[in-house]
Amino acid sequence: MSNLKFQSVFDIIGPVMIGPSSSHTAGAVRIGKIVSSIFGDEPTEVEFQLYNSFAKTYRGHGTDVALVAGILGMDTDDPRIPDSLDIARERGIKVYWRVNKDSNTPHPNTTRIIIKNDKKSISATGVSIGGGNIQVTELNGFSVNLNMNTPTIIIVHQDVPGMIAKVTDILSKYNINIAQMNVTREQAGEKAIMIIEVDARQCENSIAEIEKIPHLHNVTFFN
């Protein structure tokens, strides 16, 4: 008999949530909310590209309202989740769906989200892996591996010399230990993404200082 190892009770019973399925509802809310947080602004348009299981059952299992609820900033237990499509419409947010039932994505519960307004646009691919747990596997065309189970700083910046040193110097100044760090760029001198997992959950002062660094586009902290 094999031994099963779980990192959290949520791996077994899932989170407190609205909806019938932790994978199709709670996970979808979390994906939408993370993408919205990274975007950091009110969108005017969101496109959801759904794959495999998400594509086949997104209306019956409430994945559609869950994803939109996340984009609107709702938590998994928010009673407004069933009304999220109406709320988005009232806020002037256009929502589009692209359904790909027979694609060969690595995981059946996969969505790619393109969110935009008149100032900016980002894309991200998220996977709901069960129990309300998720992974973000792509961000603005960059391959990433985010499970959001540890405090994480995501920085979108211009690829210029000294950027990593400036960020890490600030974290060191506030005695924040880096657990893991990954930097990916489009190409030399273009946009880059810095993903930093840290041990601290209180990072407000360091984040405020990081935001003042030149050539930095966006900073998001998930705790």
User: Which residue, among 119, 66, 67, 115, has the nearest Cα to 94 in the 3D structure?
Assistant: 115
* pLDDT tens profile 198-208: 999 999 999 99
Residues forming CATH 3.30.1330.90 domain(s) in the chain:
14-146
Q: Read off the tokens for 128.
A: 């709901």
Neighbours of 207 (CB within 10 A): 17
Could you tell me the mean pLDDT of each successive run of 10 residues in the chain, 223 residues long? Answer: 40 46 76 89 95 79 92 93 97 95 77 94 91 87 83 92 97 96 84 91 95 93 85
Predicted TM-score (pTM) of the model is: 0.76
Angle at 167 between CA 149 and CA 164, to 5 degrees: 100
CATH topology of domain 152-222: Alpha-Beta Plaits (3.30.70)
- Does the domain at 14-146 match CATH 3.30.1330.90? Answer given as yes
CATH 3.30.70.260 location in the chain: 152-222
Q: Which two three-digit tokens encode residue 139?
A: 């961000």
Cβ-defined contacts of 77-80 (< 8 Å, 24+): 77/15, 77/16, 77/17, 77/18, 78/18, 78/29, 79/18
Query: Tens of pLDDT along 84-113?
Result: 999 999 999 999 999 987 777 777 789 999
